[in-house]
Amino acid sequence: MSQVTLQSLSQEVAALREHLAALAAKLAELEAAAAAAPSHAVEVPAEEPKPVEEAISEETLAAISAAIAAYLGKRPHIRAIRLVSSPTWAQQGRVSIQASHRISPQHHQHRVR
């Protein structure tokens, strides 16, 4: 390994300073050019996105129909399917999961001596 001397370290620092000064000058030049250039950007007011109605595939419709048929025991006639967003479904799911974790109380038998 070569030894680092104070002189070689000073030369490296001087070279880094020159390079940094050149970069700062280039950045100032680019910023000035950007400020002088006409802006062609036009601000467009933000609009609320319209809800997108997605078509239900035949496979999904068949799966829903099969699930309902299995639940009801007969083939259903499906007239319409729509997504209903409600926090009730999530809440009911959490209640169901918590109910499955209930621990039955342990009955301790007290011994009489």
Is residue 14 in a domain?
yes
CB 69 within 8 A of CB 75: yes
Predicted TM-score (pTM) of the model is 0.33
Is residue 55 in a domain?
no
CB 78 within 8 A of CB 61: yes
Is residue 44 in a domain?
no
Is residue 95 in a domain?
no
Is residue 29 in a domain?
yes
Is residue 59 in a domain?
no
Is residue 20 in a domain?
yes
Task: Determine the structural domain holding residue 14 and report its residue range.
Answer: 7-34
Residue 14's pLDDT is: 92
Per DSSP, 36 falls in state H
Please tell me the total count of domains within the chain: 1
State residue 19 phi and psi, 5-degree precision. -65, -40
Task: Tell me which of 1 and 101 has the higher pLDDT.
Answer: 101
> What are the pLDDT digits (tens) for 57-98?
888 888 888 998 998 888 888 888 777 777 887 888 888 888
> What are the pLDDT digits (tens) for 4-34?
788 888 899 999 999 999 999 999 999 988 8
Is residue 18 in a domain?
yes
Q: Report the distance separating Cα 78 and Cα 67, nearest Å.
A: 12
Q: Which amino acid is at 109?
A: Q
